[in-house]
Structure 1
């Protein structure tokens, strides 16, 4: 067993104590080539060591999926396989290993049935250092180009590129150096995690993943690149997402493979899935004012043609029209409310029967849809060629919002779900609401937090629901999805599949899902609750988490955790003792790692809503939320690709800039509306262009 282990951004390192010295094993990746290298080094060990390196050979998803062949030439070992799925898309895939002279004896473990190589073994004697470099090729089955890598060069290049990607982000708090340092470390690690989710979306628990969830990629990767002003990447994501829209229905698969394996996907989807790509387009248009994107030609995916792309391409705007048509076609009859379909964001609350799919409404999906429609119509206002479409969406928005207030609000409180038994809209059934007598669950977070974010609540209702959330749902380790768990009755289901069937307590079943906690922070920002924003900002950061969450067990510090799970032995114990999560009398553990849109969403919240740097029609919007306890806040970040130090002074208040100077010159501020408080300030791009220099910029803001 190793004595120590280190996980770096592009490397892992193991240290083994031995004979008064130690062995160091280090694996790292290249930045510009498809190569990995393992360095093995003995330190303060005088005698040579017999060494053996084993490497499993699979060439498919699982063991025995392929017949693997190994050939050697000089110091090169060449590996190919015949997996049917791989061969269909990458017939030339091969791997080449460059061995070290010290470890050059090659043998294989083979399977008697098909003479396939199952394991590669390298042997030799190690004194000093030896390296093994692994390269891969998709184009040349005969030989991948493999050259030794330099660890210092690859690591420094990786860090420089990541710093460039996050616009050289760093933050300082005058009165809280510790938490500022924590945020700076987290920015680096969550960026790393977000890029894993973007490029190879599977966590440690799903080694064979690599699919984009339509909802996930419309949030995490998209929001990350938008917050970093990498609009070209955001457009690439939009094109990829919309190419997977079904031409037959106008909606999407729940998830899809985003590369050459694009025909692999989950055809059915939850009722909210159709909304997320539209929200991404609306946010892009509002931020950039780039209406040319609507003319981009993009194919559809055809269900009837084996999930292949259509040969004909259509404008992105045509895709939006088909998307809105799907939403209209799937309203609950007699209302302007979208039906639940196969679920909403909370995967555990998938409906238990067909009647619930067609006659139930999510209290979360509706304000999300309203927010999307309003953003889209505001962005397209004045664009005459889209006037008919804007009128159609505006009319639907008006009718949906009227039904939201008529049906979803009962006794002043929004319902988690609304059920129309047998389609009878005159006598709706309220679930996850104080009047709910069937599930035992009285309050649900998502409809309340999204209604605040979308400004669908009025000011009084927002304050009342925020008070309910803080009273009923906020725990030491974060906000929970509901005020109590769905009861587990040996797997018997009544309303919700996984919530009532799952024997485990992880992810949404345990009710603290970090993604939802981040959206709660967004709602707090919308209301200007500065102290609560920062208190909750640190609850889901794994770095030294016990300082923010006293009842947290130790957890890995450089990985985003998708949930915080109560340390209960089983669901029965958890149900009976759920209140201990509220008091902190039970410990909490980290859930799934990395596999989530959460890191990208968190980074967007930190930059766009907490530190308040975002854009509208390519003008700079300043909307920082700064607790007076922090004192002066200094943020290093690039604006329009020019390095700038933003200095935020919480002088008169904790939000809404009252005055700003750029490089010593007063700049004009225009206040934007906010339903719950005084709003953000906007600075015209022309003003910034005239005052921003190539370097050494200072933008000072007084709240």
Structure 2
């Protein structure tokens, strides 16, 4: 036992990893260029061609990757037991230049596995089995191979473009072929996998192979099945699993099986039956190796590969009350009445273990330090997951380059060594904390509660509000040793540094320095991440990955490990900065705050309440209660999107999408009266304009501003102008037009007024018009990225009706701003141009009374409509975007608006929301006929699944414009994840406190979606939640509630009251701060659902002016001074009578 009184120096504890005693990665290579990298244990780290990785996941030095072979012992139709053959501790592993052999024994079978690269691009797994018993043994083998074949970093996104096609060979049974439909540097990589003597069944996605319960069992669910599902599933974990035919091995007899792989760097056409010829043509294999006589090195495991998961029990009712004794709201149960989740006071969401094992997307949280919204480069951010990932992807500022701690990548717990993981000692052995009994998420923190008969352990992670710091604290009912593993990156996300290159250990803290040569270090000299243990006397060891290995030898994993003596609590503080002089908490402050979670969480609540101007929905209607519960979370999601741009699935980002930042963040902040923040956003956006008047599709806004898109879609130029108009309308701040700002690509001396920036943008717009029209050419696309034209020639011929509607809306709004600024000539010019846009819109894009999605404009002044009832080319007859923008922009006449609102209701609204089109583009194996991603993506989700929530929010806004209050409320409830089943009966279980960017019909592949799309309309297909948080959608949803449902909007020195509320919400009340004074707004809904009749403040009816609206009776505007004059500082009430 270490003397805790004297052990107070980290330098004395730290033993830097010595030179690795055995080469951590062994390379097998072939003339074809294929390279297999394997660990000393025989586990596969990666397979790569010269152009692309073949594997989806890059394995870790401690774990390898998902690729594996499994030997299963069978009895009748049951799987008795199984073992993994790769990375199996105790097996003997041997390497040569082109092959690896693994030998060992399992359940009276001796095995020899040989991996050999073939002369032509490919590889073979040869498995020899010998029955050492005196009875016959039945067995089979399963080969699991993750497949990516792409250089793109996000594994889920890669998977969405891998086409898995199942062929049947007359001799070898099922043959699985995978083609990457997203073009790579060498073309379209392709892989064929098969088995000799034959493949009996298969799996094409890791979710079907591992299952959600893998998070607690670490046992692939498919291995427990006698026969794999044999269903082609195109989802987000691209993999091929092949089950061999059943093998009977007599006593003392041998059996042999092969799994073969054929790789092609470029397969221009989709997979077809002709590809079966490659089995005979290229599937020639080397001579079967003899049983090796040379001794091999014995594979040694480590805690990540060997330690069991801590067995957390379900909480009893009494235990639940001990931790959460406040009233529970929005209680979620399964079909058997088992508690799954609930909300409680303080914006806390609690998820029970049972739910985490049912939902595909793992429960997670994004946390960030401080309260800055715009231009806050030193933000410390991290990602936590319910499954025991207490902090991962810790970054200082830029999420793509300044990564301090490693990223958790897979959704099912296949790879465990990411971020901060904690092992706890029990009965002289260590167990890994995984899925807890319960997980609590608050706006700036998380809590994990692990309970079983032996102990209760609680872990907390929280972000500081008044400084850039994070904390992780562990507490246990009984004293025990903890071993904490911290994955270190200090560079780009895929960096694997040596600890000696980035770790500096001081007497009281640990400083991590950026990897030499990384952008993190080069752009930020003196940058650092600092780790401070709360109690030095609690530590017994500090080192590298050798502390995870039984042989105490480092294998080069970039992992900092610390071990405690027996303690009942321990904490770590984290801070970081981009410059050595940036203000950060001192070492002593970080150490002291490791026990201040509740205080910091309370500060987080206060900070969010202040941001929301203390907004609170107080109505008793259960629908409004759900909206009130989710709004703080949507605000938190929007703040993450704006200030630390990334999401749970889209874990890299760090850039502002020009289109996105000018919508969700600006509209939400204007709704809350945060005009100074919006002004700052506009300043940054206009300073990133190009001298040609356009903007990039996206740009990084920190000191990595040179990283930006090389082009943009045809609509992007309008969004900064539209946001500028919104800002001026809300604030009356015409002075902004005269502020001088630079251009991103201009000379250092070039600085012009914002109005001159606007003039350049207008010139850019005019040059984009199709000749002889006032219609903007499609260019590189519009809002729907999946519909970029496959034929580059269409970029100048095709027109998006949605973009044209946005053009008209922007020109009209700019004309109004110019009139307010006294720039009458500019206003007249813009109004005239808007009139020409509207004229050409109706002449060229509206056919038979229906707006087309796109128009192909010919030189003879004719138009071929696409995505229109007359369209026979695509088979798609209605597109949502031009219809809703036609209403929102005012380009439609009242009659046109009514017709299109009815068309939307008839053809595009489904139980889970409004869909982008009445059916998806046809899928032809990945061939691109008209559209790029829309015809090459294999996963029916996100934009491809054609229910994107961002567009659905705009649909709801269009219904507000039409005064269709019931449709507006129904649309709003469909995007609220709290008790989602109450609003969307076919909704699949999902995280209840996070924004989902899409609703994905649960078709297994594009073919099923094409055949059975009618099930989306009738709601008979389950609807899953898509990617989370990284979207302008959360901010737009908040704005929808405040500015359209409740209809409260600042207009300079006046307030517009323009609510759209169904009669069922009569009596709705809202508490909100108005110019610093707490006010209750109450709605009396009587005669109609829009166009209020009067505004009364504390019983005093105010003089009001009726606002003009193109499609219905408009709202009322009243003077802000008149409102404030009637407030008395008591129980102030404003009644909006309708």
TM-score (norm 1): 0.95
> Cα distance 1:126–1:543, how it changes in 2: closer, same or farther (>3 A)?
farther
1:212 aligns with 2:656: yes
1:119 aligns with 2:562: no
Q: Aligned-pair distance for 1:141?
A: 8.2
Q: Comparing 90-99 with 588-597, which one deviates more in the overlay? A: 90-99
- 1:188, 1:425 → 2: CA distance? 54
Q: Counterpart in 1 of 2:752?
A: 314
Q: Of 983, 987, 990, which aligns to 1:552?
A: 987
- 1:311, 1:35 → 2: CA distance? 38
Q: Counterpart in 1 of 2:866?
A: 431
1:130 aligns with 2:565: no
> Cα distance 1:63–1:408, how it changes in 2: closer, same or farther (>3 A)?
closer
Q: Counterpart in 2 of 1:53?
A: 484
- 2:1051, 2:905 → 1: CA distance? 31
> Cα distance 1:236–1:382, how it changes in 2: closer, same or farther (>3 A)?
closer
1:199-252 deviations in whole A, cap 9, x for unaligned? 0111122323111000000001111111101000000000011111111x2101
1:161 aligns with 2:607: yes
CA contact (8 A) 2:496 2:557 kept: no
Q: Aligned-pair distance for 1:172?
A: 3.1
Q: Counterpart in 1 of 2:586?
A: 145
Q: Aligned-pair distance for 1:21?
A: 2.7
Q: Of 718, 737, 740, which aligns to 1:275?
A: 718
Q: Counterpart in 2 of 1:10?
A: 444
Q: Of 878, 881, 885, which aligns to 1:450?
A: 885
Q: Aligned-pair distance for 1:434?
A: 0.5
SS of aligned partner of 2:618:
strand
Q: Of 436, 440, 456, which aligns to 1:22?
A: 456
> Cα distance 1:621–1:144, how it changes in 2: closer, same or farther (>3 A)?
closer
1:79 aligns with 2:525: no
Q: Aligned-pair distance for 1:285?
A: 1.3
Aligned ranges 1:322-333 → 2 under 5 Å = 322-333=760-771
Q: Counterpart in 1 of 2:847?
A: 410
Q: Comparing 531-540 with 12-21, which one deviates more in the overlay? A: 12-21
1:179 aligns with 2:623: yes
1:627-679 deviations in whole A, cap 9, x for unaligned? 11122111111222322111110022211111221122110121111121111
SS of aligned partner of 1:380:
helix
Aligned ranges 1:612-691 → 2 under 5 Å = 612-691=1047-1126
Aligned ranges 1:499-510 → 2 under 5 Å = 499-510=934-945
Q: Counterpart in 1 of 2:502?
A: 69
- 1:692, 1:509 → 2: CA distance? 51
Q: Counterpart in 1 of 2:545?
A: 109
1:299 aligns with 2:299: no
> Cα distance 1:681–1:141, how it changes in 2: closer, same or farther (>3 A)?
closer
CA contact (8 A) 2:699 2:708 kept: yes
1:341-388 deviations in whole A, cap 9, x for unaligned? 10000110011122111011101011111111111212321533x233
- 1:54, 1:555 → 2: CA distance? 30
1:255 aligns with 2:669: no
Q: Counterpart in 1 of 2:773?
A: 335
CA contact (8 A) 1:36 1:134 kept: yes
SS of aligned partner of 2:869:
coil
> Cα distance 1:324–1:425, how it changes in 2: closer, same or farther (>3 A)?
farther
1:607 aligns with 2:1042: yes
Q: Counterpart in 1 of 2:341?
A: none
CA contact (8 A) 1:350 1:496 kept: yes
Q: Comparing 66-75 with 232-241, which one deviates more in the overlay? A: 66-75
SS of aligned partner of 1:238:
helix
SS of aligned partner of 1:136:
strand
> Cα distance 1:263–1:388, how it changes in 2: closer, same or farther (>3 A)?
same
CA contact (8 A) 1:80 1:141 kept: no
Q: Counterpart in 2 of 1:364?
A: 802
Q: Aligned-pair distance for 1:525?
A: 0.5
Aligned pairs, number: 687
1:415-460 deviations in whole A, cap 9, x for unaligned? 1000024xx1422110000111100000000000111111211112
CA contact (8 A) 2:921 2:935 kept: yes
SS of aligned partner of 1:54:
strand
Q: Counterpart in 2 of 1:201?
A: 645
Q: Comparing 366-375 with 232-241, which one deviates more in the overlay? A: 366-375
Q: Which has the higher strand share?
A: 2
Q: Aligned-pair distance for 1:699?
A: 0.7
- 1:561, 1:505 → 2: CA distance? 15
CA contact (8 A) 1:349 1:499 kept: yes
1:495 aligns with 2:939: no
CA contact (8 A) 1:283 1:376 kept: no
> Cα distance 1:502–1:41, how it changes in 2: closer, same or farther (>3 A)?
same
CA contact (8 A) 1:103 1:126 kept: no
- 1:289, 1:464 → 2: CA distance? 35
- 1:115, 1:253 → 2: CA distance? 44
Q: Comparing 94-103 with 433-442, which one deviates more in the overlay? A: 94-103
Q: Of 24, 29, 42, which aligns to 2:476?
A: 42
The answer for unaligned runs of 5 or more in structure 2 is: 1-433, 547-553
- 2:939, 2:1075 → 1: CA distance? 47
Q: Counterpart in 2 of 1:513?
A: 948
CA contact (8 A) 1:417 1:431 kept: yes
CA contact (8 A) 1:485 1:509 kept: yes
Q: Of 74, 95, 118, which aligns to 2:529?
A: 95
CA contact (8 A) 2:575 2:585 kept: yes
Q: Counterpart in 2 of 1:188?
A: 632
- 1:115, 1:476 → 2: CA distance? 53
Q: Counterpart in 2 of 1:475?
A: 910
CA contact (8 A) 1:275 1:369 kept: yes
Q: Aligned-pair distance for 1:118?
A: 1.3
The answer for unaligned runs of 5 or more in structure 1 is: none
How much is the aligned-residue C-alpha RMSD, in angstroms?
A: 1.9
Q: Aligned-pair distance for 1:65?
A: 5.9
Q: Aligned-pair distance for 1:84?
A: 2.5
Q: Comparing 681-690 with 616-625, which one deviates more in the overlay? A: 681-690
> Cα distance 1:91–1:104, how it changes in 2: closer, same or farther (>3 A)?
farther
Larger radius of gyration, structure 1 or 2? 2
- 1:201, 1:71 → 2: CA distance? 29
- 1:692, 1:350 → 2: CA distance? 54
> Cα distance 1:440–1:151, how it changes in 2: closer, same or farther (>3 A)?
same
CA contact (8 A) 1:75 1:104 kept: no
CA contact (8 A) 1:642 1:693 kept: no
Q: Of 826, 830, 834, which aligns to 1:393?
A: 830
Q: Comparing 78-87 with 237-246, which one deviates more in the overlay? A: 78-87
- 1:687, 1:96 → 2: CA distance? 53
TM-score (norm 2): 0.59
> Cα distance 1:211–1:126, how it changes in 2: closer, same or farther (>3 A)?
farther
1:604-628 deviations in whole A, cap 9, x for unaligned? 0100011000022331000111211
- 1:693, 1:356 → 2: CA distance? 62
